[in-house]
Amino acid sequence: MISNQILQNTIEGLKGIMRIELCICDTEGKVLATTFPDAEEYEFSVLAFVESPADSQVIQGYQFFKVFD
């Protein structure tokens, strides 16, 4: 598994390029890396997305993507 520090550095670099906030969560809805302080508020949405068959989905105006390692 990729370390949280590598994930954090990666999304901070992506934020610098794309100028959007990013968050990476595990399949239990726990935040692994984020570029914004209130990411824990989206745990319920993450869990709903994990249970869905979709590979990407918009929930409450946020784009979710499943990434398989």
Tell me, letter by letter, the H, E, C secondary structure of 9-57.
HHHHHHHHHHCCCCEEECCCCCEEEECCCCHHHHHHHHHHHHHCCCCEE
Mean pLDDT value of segment 14-25 = 95
Q: Dig out the tokens for 7 from the structure.
A: 């994930």
Q: Give the model's pLDDT for residue 1.
A: 59
**38 φ/ψ angles, rounded to the nearest 5 degrees:** -105, 35
* Span 33-65, pLDDT tens digits: 999 999 999 999 999 999 999 999 998 888 999
pTM as predicted: 0.85
Type of residue numbered 32? L
Share the mean pLDDT of the chain: 92
Q: Give the model's pLDDT for residue 52.
A: 94
